[in-house]
Chain A
Amino acid sequence: MNNKPELLATAASLEEAGVLLDAGADALLIGDDRFGMRLAGHFSLEDTAAVLKMAHARGCKVYAGLGGIMSNDQLEGLPGYVKALGELGIDGIEFGDPAVLAAVKQQAPGLKLHWNAEMTSTNYATANYWGRKGASRVVLARELNMEEITEMVPLLEMEAQVQVHGMTNIYHSKRKLVASYMSHQGRPSDGGSLGKERGLFLIEAERQDEKFPIYEDENGTHIMSSDDICILEDLHILMEAGVQSFKIEGLLKPAVYNAAVVRAYRTAIDAFAADREQYAFDESWLEEVRALQDPERELSFGFFYKEQVY
Chain B
Amino acid sequence: MSTITKPQFKGKRYRLDKPELLAPAGNLEKLKFAVHYGADAVYIGGQKYGLRSGADNFSFEEMREGVEFAKKYGAKVFVATNIYAHNEDIAGIEEYLRNLYEVGISAIIVADPVIVDTALRVVPGLEVHLSTQQSTLNWQAVSFWKEEGLPRVVLGRETSLEEIAEIKKHVDIEIESFIHGAMCSSYSGRCTLSNHFTDRDSNRGGCCQSCRWKYDLFEDARPEGPWVSEEEQAEAAKSPERLLPGVTQLPLYQPEDNPFTMGSKDLCMLESIPDLIEVGIDSFKIEGRMKSIHYVATVVNAYRQAIDSYMADPEGYVLKPEWLDELNKAANRPLNTGFFYDTPDHEDHIYEPEEKAAPYDFAGLVLEYDAETGMALIQQRNHFKPGQEVEFFGPNNTFFKQAVGELWDEEGNPLDAARHPLQRVRLKVDQPVAYFDMMRKRKS
The answer to whether A74 and B158 have CB atoms under 8 Å apart is no
Interface size on B, residues (CB 8 A): 87
Interface size on A, residues (CB 8 A): 76
The answer to whether B186 and A172 have CB atoms under 8 Å apart is yes
- Rounded to whole angstroms, the CA-CA distance of A197 and B263 in the bound complex is 25
Query: Which residues does chain B contribute within 8 Å of A98, judged by CB atoms?
Result: 140-141, 144-145
Whether A202 contacts B260 in the complex (CB less than 8 A), given A171-B191, A184-B349, A307-B199, comes out as yes
Return A252 CB to nearest CB of chain B, in Å.
Answer: 7
The answer to the question of B341 belonging to the interface, with a C-beta cut-off of 8 Å to chain A, is: no
The answer to whether A171 and B89 have CB atoms under 8 Å apart is no
The answer to whether B138 and A126 have CB atoms under 8 Å apart is no
The answer to the question of B32 belonging to the interface, with a C-beta cut-off of 8 Å to chain A, is: no
The answer to the question of B343 belonging to the interface, with a C-beta cut-off of 8 Å to chain A, is: yes
- Rounded to whole angstroms, the CA-CA distance of A27 and B144 in the bound complex is 30
Q: Which residue of B lies closest to A96 (CB)?
A: B135
- Rounded to whole angstroms, the CA-CA distance of A310 and B249 in the bound complex is 35
The answer to the question of B430 belonging to the interface, with a C-beta cut-off of 8 Å to chain A, is: no
Return A204 CB to nearest CB of chain B, in Å.
Answer: 5
Whether A184 contacts B206 in the complex (CB less than 8 A), given A200-B217, A202-B216, A207-B197, comes out as no
> B203-238: contact bitstring with A at CB < 8 Å (1 yes, 0 no)?
111100011011111111100011111101001100
The answer to the question of A25 belonging to the interface, with a C-beta cut-off of 8 Å to chain B, is: no
Whether A200 contacts B218 in the complex (CB less than 8 A), given A72-B166, A185-B253, A185-B254, comes out as yes
- Rounded to whole angstroms, the CA-CA distance of A32 and B114 in the bound complex is 30
Q: Which single member of B193, B205, B259 contacts A310 (CB below 8 Å)?
A: B205
Q: Which residue of A lies closest to B231 (CB)?
A: A197
The answer to whether B227 and A178 have CB atoms under 8 Å apart is no
Interface of A is mostly: mixed
Query: Which residues does chain B contribute within 8 Å of A213, judged by CB atoms?
Result: 226
Max chain A Cβ within 10 angstroms of own Cβ: one of B187, B227, B232: B227
Whether A97 contacts B217 in the complex (CB less than 8 A), given A173-B186, A254-B228, comes out as no
Return A284 CB to nearest CB of chain B, in Å.
Answer: 23
Query: Which residues does chain B contribute within 8 Å of A171, judged by CB atoms?
Result: 186, 190-193, 211, 262
Whether A202 contacts B113 in the complex (CB less than 8 A), given A71-B137, A309-B206, A310-B201, comes out as no
Query: Which residues does chain A contribute within 8 Å of B348, judged by CB atoms?
Result: 175, 180
Query: Which residues does chain B contribute within 8 Å of A58, judged by CB atoms?
Result: none
Return A205 CB to nearest CB of chain B, in Å.
Answer: 5
- Rounded to whole angstroms, the CA-CA distance of A71 and B137 in the bound complex is 5
The answer to whether B218 and A126 have CB atoms under 8 Å apart is no
The answer to whether B199 and A99 have CB atoms under 8 Å apart is no
- Rounded to whole angstroms, the CA-CA distance of A55 and B133 in the bound complex is 37
Query: Which residues does chain A contribute within 8 Å of B346, judged by CB atoms?
Result: 179-181, 183-184
The answer to the question of A124 belonging to the interface, with a C-beta cut-off of 8 Å to chain B, is: yes
Instruction: Give the residues from 172 to 221 in chain A that come closer than 8 angstroms, CB to CB, to chain B.
Output: 172-185, 196-205, 207, 211-214
Query: Which residues does chain B contribute within 8 Å of A183, judged by CB atoms?
Result: 345-346
The answer to whether A310 and B200 have CB atoms under 8 Å apart is yes
Return A294 CB to nearest CB of chain B, in Å.
Answer: 5
Return A19 CB to nearest CB of chain B, in Å.
Answer: 12
The answer to the question of A279 belonging to the interface, with a C-beta cut-off of 8 Å to chain B, is: no
Query: Which residues does chain B contribute within 8 Å of A202, judged by CB atoms?
Result: 215-218, 260
Q: Which single member of B189, B220, B262 contacts A119 (CB below 8 Å)?
A: B189
The answer to the question of B86 belonging to the interface, with a C-beta cut-off of 8 Å to chain A, is: yes
Q: Which residue of B lies closest to A206 (CB)?
A: B213
Whether A118 contacts B138 in the complex (CB less than 8 A), given A202-B215, A307-B199, comes out as no
Return B246 CB to nearest CB of chain A, in Å.
Answer: 15
Query: Which residues does chain B contribute within 8 Å of A172, judged by CB atoms?
Result: 186-187, 190-191
Q: Which residue of B lies closest to A118 (CB)?
A: B190
Q: Which single member of A175, A200, A294 contacts B343 (CB below 8 Å)?
A: A175
> B142-163: contact bitstring with A at CB < 8 Å (1 yes, 0 no)?
0111000000000010110001
Q: Which single member of B114, B201, B203 contacts A129 (CB below 8 Å)?
A: B114
Q: Which residue of B lies closest to A257 (CB)?
A: B227
Return A66 CB to nearest CB of chain B, in Å.
Answer: 13
The answer to the question of B373 belonging to the interface, with a C-beta cut-off of 8 Å to chain A, is: no
The answer to the question of A43 belonging to the interface, with a C-beta cut-off of 8 Å to chain B, is: no
Return B129 CB to nearest CB of chain A, in Å.
Answer: 16
The answer to whether B217 and A181 have CB atoms under 8 Å apart is yes
Query: Which residues does chain A contribute within 8 Å of B192, judged by CB atoms?
Result: 119, 143, 170-171
The answer to whether A123 and B228 have CB atoms under 8 Å apart is no
Whether A173 contacts B206 in the complex (CB less than 8 A), given A123-B85, A181-B351, A200-B218, comes out as no
The answer to whether A252 and B228 have CB atoms under 8 Å apart is yes
The answer to whether B204 and A310 have CB atoms under 8 Å apart is yes
Whether A173 contacts B228 in the complex (CB less than 8 A), given A123-B90, A185-B253, A198-B219, comes out as no
The answer to whether A125 and B141 have CB atoms under 8 Å apart is no
The answer to the question of A45 belonging to the interface, with a C-beta cut-off of 8 Å to chain B, is: no
Instruction: Give the residues from 64 to 104 in chain A that come closer than 8 angstroms, CB to CB, to chain B.
Output: 69-72, 74-75, 97-99, 101-103
The answer to whether B345 and A308 have CB atoms under 8 Å apart is no
Q: Which residue of B lies closest to A308 (CB)?
A: B201
The answer to the question of B117 belonging to the interface, with a C-beta cut-off of 8 Å to chain A, is: yes
Query: Which residues does chain B contribute within 8 Å of A243, judged by CB atoms?
Result: none
Q: A119-B189, A120-B84 are in contact. List 13 more A-B contacts (CB 8 A).
A: A12-B229, A71-B137, A102-B140, A122-B85, A171-B186, A174-B187, A174-B339, A196-B228, A197-B228, A199-B225, A308-B199, A310-B53, A310-B206
Residue pairs across A and B with Cβ atoms less than 8 A apart, 8 shown, are A99-B140, A102-B144, A126-B85, A170-B196, A171-B192, A181-B349, A185-B257, A197-B229
Q: Which 6 A-B pairs have the closest CB atoms?
A: A199-B226, A199-B220, A310-B206, A99-B140, A98-B144, A183-B346
Q: Which residues of A contact B (CB under 8 A)?
A: 12, 69-72, 74-75, 97-99, 101-103, 118-120, 122-126, 129-130, 143-144, 148, 151-152, 155, 169-185, 196-205, 207, 211-214, 223, 225-226, 252-255, 257, 294, 303, 306-310
